[in-house]
A and B are shown apart, each in its own frame.
Chain A
């Protein structure tokens, strides 16, 4: 059976409950590794089963910097739910990340 297309309000509600995050790094520097690990912990604690994290290595995909307008690394981008938000750094200040991503 063909799945029913979601109505706009259902789609919006689904978007509000699903988190699509992107972490921009450049290679495997200590800060980038720390950022990835801190992000994994925060997501597991706060968003279990409702998130996807994409790690973009700018050394392999340098052109992608222009897409999300990255100005430093590591940078975390919340692509969903809207609006887009960015946090620069190794994400070791959990409270700042929670506030920045509006996880409360």
Chain B
């Protein structure tokens, strides 16, 4: 069976590479496509193929279009509003957390993590993206 794809939006190349390593190590059952800024993410999300995405992993501090703006656009977009989004960021600003939650993110994960948290985080993403758009945030 063909693996579904998750879009990783992250500008830091080390973080992108590490994410791929962690996904491999912990058996993440999705292909991961990468983009490095908000503009590229939005462009990709507007292609017809975006309907086949299992979800998005989104950093908030990204160039060109911010992560929160991407979330606003996804939330307002008829075809994309059900797409599961997980925020993976170093921002622990309560305002960012509440804005992202209000915009419907399935989870908000703050870097850095310890190793067991990292393992749990990959498991949590697997659960979220496997569920498709069946569950909205609590």
Q: Would B115 and A59 count as touching, CB distance under 8 A?
A: no
Query: 1/0 contact trace for B89-121 toward A, CB 8 Å?
Result: 000000000000000000000011111011000
Query: 1/0 contact trace for A20-46 toward B, CB 8 Å?
Result: 000000110111100000000000000
Bound-state CA distance A65–B13 (Å) is 18
Known: A62-B24, A66-B25. A73 touches B115 (CB 8 A): no
Known: A71-B115, A88-B112. A62 touches B18 (CB 8 A): no
Q: How many chain-B residues does the 8 Å CB contact rule pick out? A: 16
A63 within 8 A of B: yes
For the complex, would chain A's binding face be called helix, strand, loop or mixed by DSSP majority? loop
Q: Would A72 and B14 count as touching, CB distance under 8 A?
A: yes
Q: Would B14 and A74 count as touching, CB distance under 8 A?
A: yes
A69 within 8 A of B: yes
Q: Would B112 and A26 count as touching, CB distance under 8 A?
A: no
Q: Would A59 and B111 count as touching, CB distance under 8 A?
A: no
Q: Would B15 and A29 count as touching, CB distance under 8 A?
A: no
Known: A65-B25, A66-B25. A73 touches B112 (CB 8 A): no
B residues with a Cβ closer than 8 A to A are 13-15, 17-18, 21-22, 24-25, 111-115, 117-118
